[in-house]
Amino acid sequence: MAERTKYAPGTFSWVDLNTTDQDGAKTFYGGLFGWDADDQAVGDGMTYSMMSIAGKPVAGISLQGEMQRQSGAPPAWNSYVTVESADESVDRATKLGANVRAPAFDVMDVGRMAVIQDPQSGFVMVWEPKLHIGASIVNTHGALSWNELATPDLDASAAFYTELFGWQVEPLEGMEFPYRIIQNAGASNGGMRPSQANEPCYWLAYFGTDDIDASLAKSTELGGTTLVGSTDIGMGKIAILQDPQGAVFALFAGDFDD
């Protein structure tokens, strides 16, 4: 288990789920990962479920907004990157050709954020922390362990995010297909790969598991769907799943970074 009290700018620090069934999602992920829910009022009768392990926040779950529901947007996990200034990140992203879906705004007194759609159509959130730094623990069972971009243009995505966040994006040698490792502030910070046929451009959130086969069986029992079964990648095993509401996420079992 790796505890965090701060994140270097450019680091993935938080994930949350926008879903059509908030209570159903809390039941599913609570059963799968042992998460506890703390429902916090966020106005207009809405709540934001802060999901935790042993009292330490690891992810969030919220109900889709009215516009998302009306447009038929599927439930999805959102990946957040810590930045020094959400406003400056929006300005930089705009100059780099991104579409700003939500300009920088305050999230009460916990932080400031913005929603950016990159030039290949993938969504990423930028997070300027105040009271909430992001996940307090990572790289353990039930906690965020990796973020991976599926993109139709690997070179273009690497160039965009390098300019936006100052990442170093380098090829991972020895793979059967192209894969890029993201480095930020001297640490591994996710990856990028080419999207498959009919696969959208999106950031895939990986959660750690102590036993990938047991987690797959538990997901099935709770109503989840296995999209890609347990796959050995050398440093560990991964799997890709879909929760009962349709959001896609992944599992990783192996050696975790500190």
User: Of the given ranges (65-69, 245-249, 253-257), which has the lowest mean pLDDT?
Assistant: 65-69
Retrieve residue 122's tokens: 């993938």
Query: What is the pLDDT at residue 175?
Result: 74
- Full-model pTM: 0.96
Q: What is the CATH number of domain 2-129?
A: 3.10.180.10
Query: What is the pLDDT at residue 22?
Result: 97
Retrieve residue 44's tokens: 């207009």
Q: Regarding predicted confidence, which is higher, 257 or 151? A: 151
Residue 65 DSSP one-character state: P
Which residue, among 124, 108, 132, has the nearest Cα to 42 in the 3D structure?
108
Selected from 3.40.50.300, 3.10.180.10, 3.30.420.40, 3.30.390.30, the CATH number assigned to the domain covering 138-254 reads 3.10.180.10
Q: Give span(s): CATH 3.10.180.10, the chain.
A: 2-129, 138-254
User: Of the given ranges (69-78, 94-103, 191-200), which has the lowest mean pLDDT?
Assistant: 69-78
By residue count, the chain amounts to 258
Query: What is the pLDDT at residue 10?
Result: 98
Query: What is the pLDDT at residue 48?
Result: 97
Quickly list DSSP for 182-193.
Answer: EEETTEEEEEEE
Retrieve residue 250's tokens: 């992944």
Q: Regarding predicted confidence, which is higher, 256 or 38? A: 38
Retrieve residue 217's tokens: 């069986």
Q: φ, ψ for residue 141 (rounded to 5)?
A: -60, 125
Query: What is the pLDDT at residue 176?
Result: 75
Q: Regarding predicted confidence, which is higher, 146 or 43? A: 146
Contact, 216 vs 226, CB < 8 A?
yes
C-alpha atoms less than 13 angstroms from C-alpha of 239 in its C-beta half-sphere: 23
* Burial zone of 197 (CB within 10 Å; 0-12 exposed, 13-18 middle, 19+ buried): exposed
Query: What is the pLDDT at residue 65?
Result: 82
Mean pLDDT of 65-84: 89
* Percent of the chain surpassing pLDDT 90: 87
41 Cβ partners below 8 Å, 6+ apart?
A: 47
CA distance 136 to 22: 22
Query: What is the pLDDT at residue 257?
Result: 74
**Residue 67 predicted with pLDDT over 70:** yes
pLDDT tens for each residue of 119-162: 999 999 999 999 999 999 999 999 999 999 999 999 999 999 99
pLDDT tens for each residue of 88-99: 999 999 999 999
Query: What is the pLDDT at residue 43?
Result: 78
Residues paired with residue 129 on neighbouring β-strands, in sequence order: 111
Query: What is the pLDDT at residue 235?
Result: 86
Mean pLDDT of 197-215: 96
Q: Regarding predicted confidence, which is higher, 66 or 224? A: 224
Retrieve residue 158's tokens: 């690497």
Query: What is the pLDDT at residue 1?
Result: 62
Mean pLDDT of 202-214: 97
Residue 177 DSSP one-character state: S
